[in-house]
Amino acid sequence: VYDIIQAESATFRIYESVSIRPDPFTEFSTEGSDARRSLDIISVEEFSLVGITLDPVGGDQAMVEDGIGVPYVLYEGTILANNSHVAEITSNEVIVIQDVIVDYSARGGGETTIPTIYSLRLHEEGGL
C-alpha cells in the first residue's frame, strides 16, 4: 500500500493486486499444448452449452465446453462427429441434427437416413 495524496481529512492510497487469478484481458499463451480437438471428431453428447451470442446480420455463435472444460465456438453449419451438424442457434438453444443411416439391404431394401435431433439448452436463472 502506497500513500499518494494526503488531504485535510483523507488519505488516498494505491493498492497493488495480490490476486492469484490471471488477468482476463491478457492474451492466451500460444506456448504449450492446446487441449482442443477437431470438432468433426467430437460428438454432441460431449458438449454442454455455456453461452450464445446472437448477431442480427447472421453469424450467431454458441460457446460450448467438452467434458474436461475445453471451450469451443459453434456456428450454424458446424460439422460434428457421427454425421451430425449444427442446424440452428436460437436465443436459448443449439439444435444439432444427426443423420443416422439405416441399412435395410439384408431385408431386400436399401438404405434410409433418419434424422435425430439434439437440443443443447441454456439453464435459466432463478428457475425452480
Give the model's confidence band at 2: pLDDT under 50 very low, under 70 low, under 90 confident, else very high: very low
Q: Write down the pLDDT at residue 128.
A: 46
Tell me the residue ranges of DSSP E strands in 1-128. 2-6, 11-14, 48-53, 61-65, 71-75, 79-80, 84-89, 93-103, 111-121
Residue 3, pLDDT > 50, answer: no
Q: Cα–Cα distance between 11 and 51 in angstroms, integer?
A: 43
Q: What is the mean pLDDT of the chain?
A: 79
**pTM, whole model, 2 decimals?**
0.65
Q: What is the DSSP string of 47-60?
A: -EEEEEE--TTS--
- Check residue 73 and give its pLDDT: 93
Q: Is the pLDDT of residue 34 over 50?
A: yes
Cell of 6: 494526503
pLDDT digits (tens, 9 = 90+) for 53-103: 988 887 899 999 998 889 999 999 999 999 999 999 998 999 999 998 888
